Amino acid sequence: MSIKDRKERDKLDRRKLIIESATKLFLEQGYEKTSIRNIADDIEYSPATIYLYFKEKDEIFYVIHEQGFDLLNKEFINHNQITDPFERLAELGKIYLNFALTNPDYYDLMFIMRAPLSEIKCHSKWEAGENSFQYLLNTVTECLDKKLIVDGDPLIVSMSIWSYVHGLISLFIRERLQSVNIEGEQNPNLLAQSLDYFLKTLKV
């Protein structure tokens, strides 16, 4: 059964080839401008071939969005050995903010665009998102237990913190912060300052 095995490997390899090309093109020129024909050209296959490996365009971008979560979770794991839960919470926020500013296209796909989630809608759950949320929920729960932040339901508090940072980032990424742009002040700096203010209000 070696031939069958090889064939399966080859199939996975070509699937990987499509994903890698799509990722490259996506990070270079964004979602809209990355067409099936673009990807097909890049990997030197016909557009129809891609549909032998993916049901639709959004399925490719679902995989890419998962890669984004892998990157984010890796950051969470790498830079988070802090024992004090509040400090860890602050660090979590900084990591999240930094990830978004460093990988705006990934962030867009993961948290703003409708594309990657269009298929999961009914039949499944948003696993990638739920996993990352756990990091936050755990730290928040610990903060609440040790009474380091304003009391509330762990889920509500976690959602609040996530919403806050996401709000900052998404307004920035989708260019709505122009109205708040003081002369000479860099936007990323404003974001960091805002996060500091928020943490100040949160602290008990």
Partner DNA sequence: GCATTTACTGAACAGTGTTTATTATATTTG
Partner DNA sequence: CAAATATAATAAACACTGTTCAGTAAATGC
Binding of residue 64 to a copy of itself (CB under 8 A): no
Coil, strand or helix at 42: helix
* Burial per residue of 78-100, b for 16 or more beta-carbon CB atoms within 10 angstroms, e otherwise: eeeeeeebbebbbbbbbbbbebb
Instruction: Look at residue 188 and give the partner it binds from DNA, a copy of itself, none, a contact being a CB closer than 5 to 8 Å depending on partner kind.
Output: none
Residues 22, 28, 30, 32, Cα dihedral to 10°: -70
Chosen residue from 22, 89, 97, 157 binding a copy of itself by CB under 8 A: 157
Phi and psi at residue 158, to the nearest 5°: -60, -45
Instruction: Look at residue 28 and give the partner it binds from a copy of itself, DNA, none, a contact being a CB closer than 5 to 8 Å depending on partner kind.
Output: none
CB of 194 to a copy of itself, least distance (A): 5
Chosen residue from 49, 103, 160, 194 binding DNA by CB under 7 A: 49
Of 2 and 178, CB closest to a copy of itself = 178
CB of 72 to a copy of itself, least distance (A): 14
Chosen residue from 67, 101, 126, 142 binding a copy of itself by CB under 8 A: 126
* CB contact at 8 A, 136 and 158: yes
Show the DSSP H helices in the chain as ranges. Answer: 2-33, 36-43, 47-50, 57-78, 85-102, 104-107, 127-145, 154-173, 187-202
Per-residue contact string for residues 53-72; x = within reach of DNA by CB under 7 A: ---xxx--------------
Query: How far is residue 195's CA from residue 166's CA, in Å, rounded to a whole number?
Result: 11
Instruction: Look at residue 123 and give the partner it binds from DNA, a copy of itself, none, a contact being a CB closer than 5 to 8 Å depending on partner kind.
Output: none
Binding of residue 200 to a copy of itself (CB under 8 A): yes
Q: How many CB atoms lie within 10 A of CB 40?
A: 17
Residues that bind a copy of itself (CB under 8 A): 111-114, 117, 121, 125-126, 129-130, 133, 150, 152-153, 155-160, 162-168, 170-171, 174-180, 182, 190, 193-194, 197-198, 200-202
